[in-house]
Amino acid sequence: MRNSRWLVFAVLSSLGYGIWAFFDKLSSFQSPFLNNFIIYGTAFFVVLILVRPRHRPPVSALVSGAFGGVINLLVLIALQSRLLLTVYPFVAAGGLVYFAVTYATTRPAYGRLQSLGVLSGGAVAVVGLLISALAYSSDSAAGHDLSGGELSLVGVLITISTGLWIYFAGHAIIDERCEPLIAGFWILLASFSVSALGLLADLHSLAAIELSSAQLYPVGAGVLILAGEMFSYYAFGGIRDSPTFARSSTVAVLSNSEIVPVVLLSLFVLGEYDLLALLGIVVLAVGLLILNFSE
């Protein structure tokens, strides 16, 4: 059981991010810059209570946090523009960026057949996520506030930022041997700094704040994004002594699979049945099995 704790953490990260996505959507009633600041301010305040690092931060952790802050800001902008279609599919596609960067930088010593199995398994897993994400988000394609060019730009930036966020987080923990909690501190500090810089571009939103119970939504999103991120980092910590491309890729895919708990919660709580979205989850599971058994 101890050897599989990393997988438990990876699954819990997916659950945490799934519930975070729900709170992120509820937070879209006000400025995305302000919401991003509240969300990462909450997450960083909580982690600040838990840890006080005494050493210089790993550069990878700071880079990961910067991309993390950018991701959530773009997601909030997309949600405020009523374009769910820009969020889940492009987050899911971040796994492809992770595969490409990790495979290019680590150059795992696989034979031709093994390489084919590992890469095809990873690709199948991401395709499964994309199927679920597109099926769940398709009804939101109409009535958005973004032009085609803006839509493409936001989507591509979400995909690239998502892949690089999880890549640099894994690099800080596995390669730079940073403890997961310490890495989380520096990553969230960088994300909070990005959110603070973003708020400078929208200072007038501060004057429009109306205190109400709705302000608790971004606070809740901050707590949940902290939970999701920490579970991801502890999953990487669990494979640090015996890292493989398949294991790290599994962590990366599950860390970007918030669509899975969203679909399942919609089914069991709201009674919303989407066969294609459920099929995507099955394809995801098959892809992860192929990925790990190939190695």
**Residue 211 has what pLDDT?**
61
**Residue 263 has what pLDDT?**
86
Q: Give Rg (Cα) of the chain.
A: 18
145 touches 112 (CB < 8 A): no
Neighbour-count burial for 177-211, b at 16+ CB within 10 Å, e otherwise = ebbbebbbbbbbbbbbbbbeebbeeeeebeeeeee
Is 0.85 surpassed by the pTM of this model?
Answer: yes
Q: Would you give per-residue pLDDT tens digits along the chain (295 residues)?
A: 457 899 999 999 999 988 887 776 666 556 778 888 888 999 999 999 989 887 888 999 999 999 999 988 887 777 666 665 567 788 888 989 999 999 889 888 788 888 888 889 999 999 999 999 888 776 555 445 555 566 678 888 989 999 999 999 999 999 999 999 999 999 999 999 999 988 887 777 666 666 666 677 888 888 999 999 999 999 999 999 888 898 999 999 999 898 898 888 778 877 777 889 999 999 999 999 999 888 7
**Residue 286 has what pLDDT?**
96
**Residue 1 has what pLDDT?**
45
Q: Measuring CA to CA, which residue among 95, 125, 104, 105 is closest to residue 294?
A: 125
Residue 37 structure tokens: 């600041």
151 touches 86 (CB < 8 A): yes
Residue 18 structure tokens: 């799934």
**Residue 174 has what pLDDT?**
95
CA-based end-to-end distance of the chain: 20
**Residue 214 has what pLDDT?**
63
Question: Kind and range of the H or E element at 273?
Answer: none
DSSP annotation of 214: G
Q: Measuring CA to CA, which residue among 268, 169, 270 is closest to residue 228?
A: 169
Distance separating alpha carbons of residues 186 and 207, to the nearest angstrom? 30
Measured in residues, the chain has a length of 295
Provide the phi-psi class of 83: left if phi over 0, else alpha when psi is between -120 and 50, else beta.
beta
159 touches 93 (CB < 8 A): yes
Residue 58 structure tokens: 């790993």
Distance separating alpha carbons of residues 172 and 55, to the nearest angstrom? 14
Phi, psi of 272 (to 5 degrees): -90, 115
